[in-house]
């Protein structure tokens, strides 16, 4: 069985200039040669203290940050060597849930539009089928159909996190990268 995701010696260094005229160049080694693999239907957690590079690793894996070195393979294809058009199509199978749900949600869009947006981006469905899919997905994460017409500021942190989860799930991805997914959830008894 081949792995869904393979990360090999992935590094991301950020340059820091110092000295007279900013000539001395040093680096912050945010991610330094990490390697791991994730099989189909497997879960992997990156654990570490604040500032150790977990979020940077996530963003670098998705090529949202340009890697310093290393390779990332998704479904047997090298993500960093693909043509952007091919990578865009492959990204439909990968979704990310960012750490700060409020900062990730456009305050001018309704929840319906926020969750529908990935379907629009990838040209999936017509208006009616997209609306039905949004309703179904919101229900799966514990939100009600009447929430669709509301805006992000009208929700608690946990509900915003559920909106982000719905947005990630709507494309039925093979891989979800969640950056501190439970940090904003509301406690339910």
The pTM (predicted TM-score) of the whole model is: 0.82
Region 137-148: mean pLDDT is 94
Query: Where residue 189 falls among pLDDT bands split at 50, 70, 90?
Result: very low
In this model, does residue 103 exceed pLDDT 90? no
Mean pLDDT of 49-75: 93
Residue ranges of domains in the chain, CATH in brackets:
1-88 (3.40.50.300), 92-189 (3.40.50.300)
- Please name which of 82, 93, 71, 97 lies closest in space to residue 10, comparing C-alpha atoms: 71
Is the pLDDT reported for residue 186 higher than 80? no
């Amino acid at each position: 069985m081949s792995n869904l995701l393979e990360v090999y010696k992935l590094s991301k260094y950020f340059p820091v200039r110092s000295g007279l005229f900013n000539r001395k160049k040093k680096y912050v080694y945010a991610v330094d040669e990490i390697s791991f693999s994730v099989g189909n239907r497997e879960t992997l957690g990156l654990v570490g203290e604040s500032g150790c590079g977990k979020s940077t690793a996530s963003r670098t894996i998705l090529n949202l940050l340009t890697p310093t070195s290393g390779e990332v393979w998704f479904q047997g294809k090298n993500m960093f060597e693909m043509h952007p058009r091919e990578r865009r199509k492959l990204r439909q199978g990968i979704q990310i849930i960012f750490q700060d749900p409020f900062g990730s949600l456009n305050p001018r869009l309704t929840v319906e539009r926020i969750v529908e947006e990935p379907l629009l981006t990838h040209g999936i469905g017509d208006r009616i089928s997209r609306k039905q899919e949004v309703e179904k997905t919101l229900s799966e994460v514990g939100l009600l159909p009447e929430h669709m017409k509301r805006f992000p500021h009208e929700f608690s942190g946990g509900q915003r996190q559920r909106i982000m989860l719905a947005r990630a799930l709507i494309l039925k991805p093979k891989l979800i990268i969640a950056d501190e997914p439970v940090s904003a959830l509301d406690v339910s008894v």
